[in-house]
């Protein structure tokens, strides 16, 4: 096993680092969601509820991923079903959200989004200077 080849301090430190990175990703994405929800026309209470729901969903997804991935402490999945379960846990929520974009409700939401702007329009709006050769 690979863990036997590493010194215990290095193996434990890398495990803590990977776990901390996962928690940091959940926190950063929740913060980004909160920042984006402030720009909506929703009431403050609904913005907070949506942010909390998104953070909880990300935290649950991370926790289920950790439990499914750790074979030594959690023997939840047999050997034959391991790969399908890992694929469902890893890519299932993403596939569900992408499918939501292509449903009638998602198409309605995309129709009401503002038109896309080009980079030039955004730069003019924010009064950036164009200098040739700096891009």
Contact 37, 62 (CB under 8 A): no
- Quick check: is 131 in a domain? no
pLDDT class of 89 with cuts at 50, 70, 90: confident
Residue 14 sits in which domain range? 2-125
- Quick check: is 69 in a domain? yes
Tell me, what's the pLDDT at 128? 47
- The span from the CA of 30 to the CA of 24, in Å, is 10
Tell me, what's the pLDDT at 115? 58
Q: What is the mean predicted confidence (pLDDT) over 40-45?
A: 87
**Range with the largest mean pLDDT of 8-12, 57-61, 92-96:** 57-61
* pTM for the whole structure: 0.65
Number of H helices, E strands in the chain: 6, 0
Count structural domains, the chain. Answer: 1
Q: Max alpha carbon distance in the chain (Å)?
A: 60
pLDDT class of 124 with cuts at 50, 70, 90: low
């Amino acid at each position: 096993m690979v863990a036997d080849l590493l010194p215990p301090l290095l193996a434990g430190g890398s495990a803590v680092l990977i776990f901390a990175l996962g928690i940091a990703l959940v926190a950063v994405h929740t913060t980004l969601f909160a920042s984006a929800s402030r720009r909506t026309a929703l009431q403050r209470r609904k913005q907070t509820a949506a942010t909390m729901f998104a953070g909880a969903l990300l935290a649950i997804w991370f926790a289920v991923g950790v439990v499914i991935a750790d074979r030594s402490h959690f023997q939840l999945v047999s050997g034959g079903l391991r790969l399908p379960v890992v694929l469902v846990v890893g890519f299932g929520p993403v596939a569900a959200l992408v499918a939501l974009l292509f449903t009638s409700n998602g198409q309605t939401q995309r129709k009401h989004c503002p038109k896309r702007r080009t980079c030039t329009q955004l730069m003019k709006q924010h009064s950036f200077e164009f200098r040739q050769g700096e891009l």
